[in-house]
Amino acid sequence: MSWLILVDHERDVSNADTPHKVMTTRDYLSRPQLFGNSKPNIINLARSYGYQGAGYYCSLLAEARGHRVIPSVETIAELSRKTLYERALPELQEALNRCLAKAADALSPGPMKLLVCFGQVQPPALAPFARLLFDWFRVPILRVSGNGDGRRTIDRISGVGMHALAGDERAFFLAAMTEHTRGTWRDAKTRVQAKYTLAVLIDPEEELAPSTQASLKHFARIAARTSIEVEPINKGDLDRLAEYDALFIRATTKIDNFTYRFARRAQQEGMPVIDDPQSMIRCTNKVYLAERLGAAGVATPQTVVVQGMKDAEGLGERLGWPVVLKIPDGAFSRGVFKCDDGDALKARLKSLLDESDLVIAQAFLPTAFDWRIGVLDGEPLFACQYHMVKRHWQIVRHEAGKAPDEGRFTTVLLSEAPPVVVETAVKAARFMGEGLYGVDLKQTPDGVFVIEVNDNPDLNHGIEDAMEKDVVWEKLAKWYWDRLEA
């Protein structure tokens, strides 16, 4: 078994500390060619797992490269907010207090502060609790804090960077890592629970919602034929989610907003969910898409992942002018910018790098429209052409102080769409998961290119279903029904 240790700075863990290869996070991000067909098991010891930081991207791209990594991006996101991991607290607190009932002197009086490394903890009397914690949250180093009066209550669980450990704590971590890497890789436990209802998460204030209220009412009528009741919920209903059987997210998804919290909670409850957290993480980030699709041989526009201003040198010559810059998690044509020359490129890139450690640069492929192929559970669902806004290069034009301007659409039968477009879309979507995806493609004289895979595609009555009709909604209802029955 091959292990790879990722660190921000070589002094955090050196090759003298471990028999395994140590690499910096920057090298891992920028040099994928080093791995070839090898599939190492990765321990990500970045100093921070903050959203869109280097540590976050290492875990994200490890998945894109087929490398097994701890922590996963799902775990990173889950530990970012107590509201996302609070479901685990009752079980963890019970395990902790069972251990303390057998060894009352295991912890000294006062506030609790435990260091858990790869499921190991000092004192050893708390080992059952530490193993359970590592099953819930597969993170190399975890700090657990809580009260010190009577029955212990966990206040916070957080990941810790190697740079925060010194002396005995550092030695304890290195010993725990040595023991962990002697064993086989274990996946986290899954908790499965099945019920029979469907909540549809909406944001009534959203300007460009993926489905209109009228479309969702149409879906509700069709879902009722298969004994699935559809009920809208909003972002204030997280505490009620477990009352439902399944979840359909119809608010624009982002990792750092309420939609991810709902998706993660639904998954924890064992509920069928579209969009699932893994699809959200993969599809909302264009860095992951670029690397995953590129590695799979799916044609995309020529792409460069930019880490700093130095990378701007020669971009126009490599990609051709104009150059398109994208923030990793933009949606509905937001966060996408066309730069016609070097000055515009540098100015825009500087502002984008203030928001994210990585930015996507792509060759510009002008077309009159983008293909959108809907894919559900690895099969084509609908085919639509989204035309560019008049005198604009995108399908949606955003201007400050104005409502978004959308281009027209043309829906076609799947049987009449170019087979290469449909086949390419299905191939790309299958790399993302088994849910509902909207694959955007450009058809050019040089071939068909995937622009992005959307985990939260538009699905509206009279537009995306204009040719396939109610079959679109019936297949969606069946997706839920089959999983609830299973």
pLDDT at 383: 97
pLDDT the model gives residue 193 = 39
The domain made up of 82-180 is a member of CATH 3.30.470: yes
DSSP state of 88: G
User: How many angstroms separate the CA atoms of 311 and 316, rounded?
Assistant: 11
What does residue 295 show for φ and ψ, rounded to 5 degrees? -65, -30
pLDDT digits (tens, 9 = 90+) for 308-341: 888 888 888 899 999 999 887 765 446 788 899 9
Residue 68: enclosing H or E segment and its boundaries?
strand 68-70
Q: Is 393 helix (H, G, I), strand (E, B) or coil?
A: coil
What pLDDT is recorded for position 331?
A: 54
Domain limits, CATH 3.40.50.20, in the chain: 198-281
Per-residue model confidence (pLDDT) at position 130: 93
pLDDT tens, per residue, the chain with 486 residues: 589 999 999 889 988 899 999 999 999 998 888 887 788 899 999 999 998 899 999 999 998 888 989 999 999 999 998 988 888 898 899 999 899 888 877 777 778 889 999 999 988 899 999 999 998 899 999 999 988 766 788 999 999 998 899 889 999 999 999 998 886 555 555 543 334 689 999 999 898 899 999 999 999 999 988 889 999 999 988 888 888 899 999 999 988 889 999 999 999 888 999 999 999 999 988 888 888 998 899 999 998 888 888 888 888 889 999 999 988 776 544 678 889 998 999 999 998 888 888 888 999 998 989 999 999 999 999 999 999 888 777 777 766 677 677 778 899 999 999 999 999 999 999 999 999 999 999 999 999 999 999 999 999 999 999 999 999 999 999 999 999 998
Q: For residue 115, what is the enclosing H or E element?
A: strand 112-117
Do 148 and 111 meet the contact criterion of CB atoms below 8 Å apart? yes
Please tell me the predicted confidence (pLDDT) of residue 423: 97
Q: Are 278 and 433 in contact (CB under 8 A)?
A: yes
How far is C-alpha 24 from the chain's CA centre?
23
Task: Give CATH superfamily name and number for 302-363.
Answer: ATP-grasp fold, A domain (3.30.1490.20)
What pLDDT score was predicted for residue 38?
83
What is 198-281's CATH topology? Rossmann fold (3.40.50)
DSSP symbol at 188: P
- CA–chain centroid gap for 184, Å, is 26
Contact between 366 and 445 under an 8 Å Cβ cutoff? The reply is no
Distance CA 100, CA 294 (A): 51
Closest of 391, 433, 484, 404 to residue 288, by C-alpha? 433
**Angle, alpha carbons 158-163-165 (nearest 5°):** 75
Instruction: Give the residue range(s) of CATH 3.30.470.20 domains in the chain.
Output: 366-485
> CA-CA distance, 89 to 156, in Å (whole number)?
9
Q: How far apart are CA 359 and CA 396, in angstroms?
A: 21
CATH 3.40.630.40 fits 366-485, yes or no: no
Distances (CA, A) of 384 to 13, 161, 380, 462: 51, 47, 12, 12
Average pLDDT, the chain: 88
Give CATH 3.30.1490.20 domain extents, the chain: 302-363
Q: Which two tokens stand for residue 322?
A: 């104009």
Residue 330 has what pLDDT?
A: 61
Let me know: does 349 contact 312? Beta carbons within 8 Å: yes
Contacts with 104 (C-beta within 8 Å, 6 or more apart), sequence order = none
- DSSP state, residue 443: E
Q: Can you give the pLDDT at residue 170? A: 93
pTM score, whole prediction: 0.74
* pLDDT tens figures, 28-47: 998 888 887 788 899 999 99
